[in-house]
Amino acid sequence: GLSKSDRDSLRDALSACFAGSGQSPPPSTVRRYLEETDRLCAIDLDGIVPFLLSLLERDASFCRKVQESIDHLFVDEFQDLNVPQYHLVRTLGNHASVFAIGDPDQSIYGFRGSDPSLFFRFAEEPSTRSIRLVRTYRSAPILVEAANSVISRNPCPSRLPIIAASDRQGTIELHRVSTPAAEAECIVRRIEELMAGISSFSLASGRGGDRGAGHGFGEMAVLYRMARQAEELANALQRRGIPFQMVGSTPYFLSPAARSATRFVWVASGNRETAHWLELLRDIPGIGAATLERLDAVLPLSGDFAGLAGTAGLPPQAERRIADLNAALERFREQVAAGGIASALDEVFAFVGADPAHPDCARLKTLAGSFGSDLPAFSRHLGNYAAEIVYDERAEAVSLMTLHAAKGLEFPVVFMAGCEEGLMPCSLRGAASIQEERRLFYVGMTRARENLILTASATRPWAGPGERTVSRFVHEIPERLIIRGVPAGKGGKGRKAEQMELF
């Protein structure tokens, strides 16, 4: 099979190809991939639009029939269209009225090929009538003024400033701390203070005893630029017993470091799905791709895997490795019954080649400790949270999510973590993407209804050595709007606020 780097390269090349921004002709790896999907009578999800567009262009009769069946075409999030999607809209709407809704200042999917210039191309067509909606009923006036100040740095001759229709009070806080761990603790303490109804004004004025109505956990969100920022934040929330939902992220126990151990647990608990067995075997040395393909072809979707595998006509080495796995599974069940899941995981880590010192493995073991010897319950818990979590507005939990995942949502309180150069804007995107990174920052700011709390760490070890500076986007907010260096206090009357030096 392909290595991870090869898979990543292929994925990027496919995205560029399907978005209409790739090389012409496509790279040989993409051609081979497309030939293989054709052989299997399959289609890549990202290739559906280009495929349909090609079909419409090749078959005039089919195209005319489709066009005549459409009277009205409605397109939401028009600013996020890529070139093939735009051409599809223009083709389908050739004889129809097209109603497009979009905001070019919220175009944040350039990595998928979206191009806000397509929005302006459509708007400037002679037959297009533009209706501008400039009033927002979501955010407090102070937040709207700050967001306008930031996004105005991006050139857009036709932009009109957003006007706040709400008269609700709002605040913008800025905290600079020394490390990501300190940043996470700062956010957690601020959440606790907001739960108690302690306002930023009370903290800044030293009136720590003043309390308002307070906010619920479900009214707060912590947004970040990169998914790897979430771990520190999740750990801090977990230590304080604060419920949270990590939206749109692969769970830590399915990370490359821990997923083999998790799959081992699923299989050991009696899960009869063939897919889980195959995924586990894929991570075990001595089981090759040909063996996995053979098992996948001849075995049912579920059943007695160990028994059925013995009738699949496998090579002797593969049969021995499956026998070793069955023996390891039986030992694990015995150890769980004798001493609990957590202690039994040590041998699992060794068997699958996982590093028990890795944070994801350590966290899996800590979680296992809360289930004692109840292996089925532990397995069910992991299964329930195995899929990427979709935001649940009913959950009484703090939401953790990337800035991209937050688009379209709103919360009374929004934290934006990692407001530093290198993260916001992300250095991986390059100088050419500064305008899109600014739009992404703007999207994060406008998720907040009342309180926007920005944090920045002076260091970020995984992002490189040296002291980090506060994001240029923060500097684009008028200083008079920001309460800087609000201490995350411990409550109590008469506590004096301290002013932190930020710039």
pLDDT in tens, 46-72: 889 999 999 999 999 999 999 999 999
Is the omega angle on the peptide bond into residue 161 within 30 degrees of 0, that is, cis?
Answer: no
- 141-249+391-484 folds as Rossmann fold (3.40.50)
pLDDT tens figures, 246-255: 888 778 888 8
Q: Which pLDDT score, from 0 to 100, does residue 182 have?
A: 96
Crossing angle of helices 60-68 and 83-92, in 10° steps, is: 70
Among 348, 346, 307, smallest CA distance to 328 is for: 348
Kindly report the backbone phi and psi dihedral angles of residue 177, in degrees, each rounded to the nearest multiple of 5, phi listed first. -125, 175
Higher pLDDT, 413 or 389: 413
What is the average pLDDT score of the chain?
84
Q: Which pLDDT score, from 0 to 100, does residue 492 have?
A: 38
Residue 305: band (very low, low, confident or very high) from pLDDT cuts 50, 70, 90: low
Higher pLDDT, 299 or 290: 290
Is the pLDDT at 420 greater than 70? The verdict is yes
Domain boundaries, the chain: 4-131, 141-249+391-484, 253-384
Q: Which pLDDT score, from 0 to 100, does residue 8 have?
A: 64
Q: Which pLDDT score, from 0 to 100, does residue 490 have?
A: 38
Which amino acid is it at 118?
Answer: L
Can you tell me the distance from the alpha carbon of 338 to that of 340, in angstroms, rounded to the nearest whole number? 6
Which alpha helices (H) appear in 227-315, and where do they start and end? 230-239, 259-268, 274-282, 289-298, 305-309
Burial class (CB within 10 angstroms; exposed 0-12, middle 13-18, buried 19+) of 39:
exposed
pLDDT tens figures, 86-121: 999 999 999 999 999 999 999 999 988 899 999 999
Q: Which pLDDT score, from 0 to 100, does residue 272 have?
A: 63
Q: Which pLDDT score, from 0 to 100, does residue 315 have?
A: 66
Please give the share of the chain, as a percent, with pLDDT higher than 70.
83
- Range 4-131 classified under CATH 3.40.50.300: yes
Q: Which pLDDT score, from 0 to 100, does residue 306 have?
A: 62
Kindly report the backbone phi and psi dihedral angles of residue 16, in degrees, each rounded to the nearest multiple of 5, phi listed first. -65, -40
Q: Could you check whether 4-131 and 141-249+391-484 share the same CATH topology?
A: yes
Burial class (CB within 10 angstroms; exposed 0-12, middle 13-18, buried 19+) of 281:
buried
Please give the share of the chain, as a percent, with pLDDT higher than 90.
52
Among 378, 352, 344, 346, smallest CA distance to 270 is for: 378
In three-state secondary structure terms, 175 is strand
Which alpha helices (H) appear in 254-374, and where do they start and end? 259-268, 274-282, 289-298, 305-309, 316-339, 341-352, 359-369
Residue 280: band (very low, low, confident or very high) from pLDDT cuts 50, 70, 90: confident
CA 332 to chain centre: 34
Q: Which pLDDT score, from 0 to 100, does residue 319 have?
A: 73
Q: Kindly report which listed range (195-204, 256-265, 414-423, 486-495) carries the lowest average pLDDT score.
A: 486-495
Q: Which pLDDT score, from 0 to 100, does residue 503 have?
A: 28
CA 365 to chain centre: 24
Tell me the CA end-to-end span of the chain in Å, nearest whole number: 50
Mean pLDDT of 34-50: 87
Residue 391: band (very low, low, confident or very high) from pLDDT cuts 50, 70, 90: confident
Of the spans 11-20, 193-202, 292-301, 492-501, which averages the highest pLDDT? 11-20
Q: Kindly report which listed range (122-126, 167-171, 215-219, 430-434) carries the lowest average pLDDT score.
A: 430-434
Q: Which pLDDT score, from 0 to 100, does residue 15 have?
A: 77
Higher pLDDT, 1 or 150: 150
Q: Which pLDDT score, from 0 to 100, does residue 402 have?
A: 95
Helix (H) or strand (E) holding 165: none
Residues whose CB is less than 8 angstroms from the CB of residue 490 and which lie 6 or more positions away in sequence, other chains included: none
Helix (H) or strand (E) holding 419: none
Q: Which pLDDT score, from 0 to 100, does residue 17 have?
A: 80
Q: Which pLDDT score, from 0 to 100, does residue 454 have?
A: 98
Which DSSP category does 111 fall into? G
